[in-house]
Amino acid sequence: MTKTWLITGTSSGFGKELAQVVASKKDTNLVAAARKMSDLDYLDQYDSSRIEKVIIDVTDQSEIKAGVSTAKEKFGTIDVLVNNAGLGYFSTIEESNMDQVRYMFEVNVFGLANMTKAVLPIMRAQKSGVIVNLSSALALTTLPTMGFYSATKYAVEGYSDTLRQEVTDLGIQVMNVEPSGARTDWSGRSSNKVVPKISDYQQFGDSISHVSDSVTSSPGDPQKIAEVIYNQVENNEVIPKHLPLGQFAYEGGLNNLENLVSEIKSRQDISLSTDD
Ligand SMILES: NC(=O)c1ccc[n+]([C@@H]2O[C@H](COP(=O)([O-])OP(=O)(O)OC[C@H]3O[C@@H](n4cnc5c(N)ncnc54)[C@H](OP(=O)(O)O)[C@@H]3O)[C@@H](O)[C@H]2O)c1
């Protein structure tokens, strides 16, 4: 059966790589969403009968509605929604600019939720579907200066885990992808950076000043990540709930979760003492 994928944020990074993987398959339709049509010219080399380009800024409800309707009109279904569009933010908690932080939440959390809300009625009607949310290794563990970014991705995790409980019986699966640092535009043009002015936080200054270097030096290969996401969705009847990718996500995530489990267990008596 020909599946239709709708992917947000396909102008660069993981979204662009995944769009190319999907576009190159003979039996898959692609709805590629971006904020600027000209960013999608790279798709012109593929079979245009299986590709629809749509403009979606995930903070714009009318663009979400129009993009999802166009996808449904063109291909009749949306089988896989990939909520990929997202921003980063590098700052200590105390020195973060709350307007910038709110906007990141608009994109990373509410944008993802609004896309999902627009697609769920289609998936419920067809009694099948897969929702892939680009979370982060920083939703499995945390690092200084990444607090508000982590907060958006931890929100995505809580949201997704609950959504899964509500829609599994309706034939809809939800997968959170938790990549480690990868060579995309995320730490460059897609992130605001606030170099600390407060002397108590000077120790974090260098890492924030050099963060854009990770555009080229991060270990994660976006093409490999896109292939893994595609294969997990297409080749599994039961799709993973979580997909940590890269050493930091795997080891850092496990280490943090194991510490959490042992901390919770160590105070079992106190935890269980507060119920009547
Ligand atoms: N790279 C990493 O190290 C890493 C690790 C873990 C998770 N992630 C997550 O992976 C996802 C993709 O990021 P990436 O690494 O591929 O970075 P990227 O190359 O910077 O791509 C970000 C994408 O999001 C789009 N976007 C930003 N704001 C948007 C909005 N309001 N509406 C619609 N699209 C918007 C961008 O579009 P424009 O071109 O129009 O700005 C771009 O297509 C993000 O959710 C990110 O948090 C990244």
Of 6, 7, 12, 81, best ligand 1 pocket probe by most atoms within 8 Å of the beta carbon: 12
> Which ligand 1 atom minimizes the distance to the CA of 179?
6
Residue-wise pLDDT tens digits, 157-174:
999 999 999 999 999 999
153 catalytic residue (yes or no): yes
> Other CB atoms closer than 10 Å to residue 206's CB: what's the count?
10
Tokens 């993009």, located at residue: 67
> Which ligand 1 atom minimizes the distance to the CA of 88?
47
What is the rounded distance in angstroms from the CA atom of residue 230 to the CA atom of residue 226?
6
Would you say the CB of residue 84 lies under 6 angstroms from ligand 1?
A: yes
For ligand 1, atom 24, name the residue with the nearest CA: 85
User: Domain residue spans in the chain?
Assistant: 3-270
Strands (E), 38-185: 51-55, 80-83, 88-90, 129-134, 172-179
> Sorting pLDDT into bands at 50, 70 and 90, what band is 1?
confident
Is the domain defined by 3-270 classed in CATH 3.40.50.720? yes
Residue-wise pLDDT tens digits, 118-172:
999 999 999 999 999 999 999 999 999 999 999 999 999 999 999 999 999 999 9
Q: How far is the CA of 234 from the centre of ligand 1 (A)?
A: 23
Would you say the CB of residue 136 lies under 6 angstroms from ligand 1?
A: yes
Tokens of 247: 């050493």
Instruction: Single out the residue of 107, 131, 120 nearest to residue 35, CA to CA.
Output: 107
Helix (H) / strand (E) element for 187: namely none
